[in-house]
Amino acid sequence: MIMGSRWIPNPLDVERMRHPFGQLYPVENLYELKQKLVAVTGKTVIASVGDVVSSFLLGNGINPEIIVFDGKTLRGPTDTPLISKDYARYTVRNEAGSISQEAMLVIRRLAASIKPGQRVCVQVDGEEDLLALPLIAYLDASSIVIYGQPREGVVMVTGNAKKQEALIILERMQVV
């Protein structure tokens, strides 16, 4: 891959990516999601993607091992999650509708090394809209990825449930 390049979705996968990759929790069912996550906190890696989702988790005493955020919701400004100082911090650039080489490298490195109880946040200069995909693909099979589904709720992807599908979508992405 050429330095500075990025991946964009294959047109055949765009529609699929608009639908939840895991269990959708509508806003009225977030208490149920919270209970499930409290039960596994510290036992498995939890990754959250998105400002609102990450703020919800942190505000409910759930500290994801990986937090990916961009300071926006629905592409408009929002308050950034209040992330404690014990999180290691990375900043990456990433354009909307794509995955930058920089973001991919950081996420793959984190996915390969993160352990329950470690804490890392990735602040995205740009947009984190597709960054759940490499987390789903590359995190350990026991991990959980949480991300926001615009105007619908919160999605929880567990273990290997969608790992293969995420890998296939990433492999079919076009380098630009």
Nearest-CA neighbor of 1 among 91, 102, 118? 102
Does residue 145 lie in a domain region?
no
List, in order, residues 6 or more apart from 119 with CB less than 8 Å away.
63, 64, 65, 84, 86, 87, 88
Q: Is residue 3 part of a domain?
A: no
Instruction: Please determine, for residue 25, whether its predicted confidence score (pLDDT) is greater than 70.
Output: yes
Maximum CA extent, the chain: 45
- Kindly state whether residue 90 falls inside one of the protein's structural domains: yes
Instruction: Return mean pLDDT, the chain.
Output: 91
The total number of structural domains in the chain stands at 1
12: in domain: no
Q: Cα–Cα distances in Å, from 55 out to 58, 110, 118?
A: 5, 21, 18
Q: Has residue 46 got a pLDDT over 90?
A: yes
What pLDDT is attached to residue 75? 54
E strands in 34-173:
46-49, 66-69, 72-73, 76-77, 88-94, 99-100, 120-126, 144-149, 153-158
Question: How does pLDDT run across 82-116, given as a tens digit for each residue?
Answer: 788 899 999 999 999 999 999 999 999 999 999 99
Quickly count: other Cβ atoms within 10 Å of residue 114's Cβ.
Answer: 19
Give the structural domain span for 94. Answer: 21-139+152-175
Is residue 127 one of the residues assigned to a domain? yes
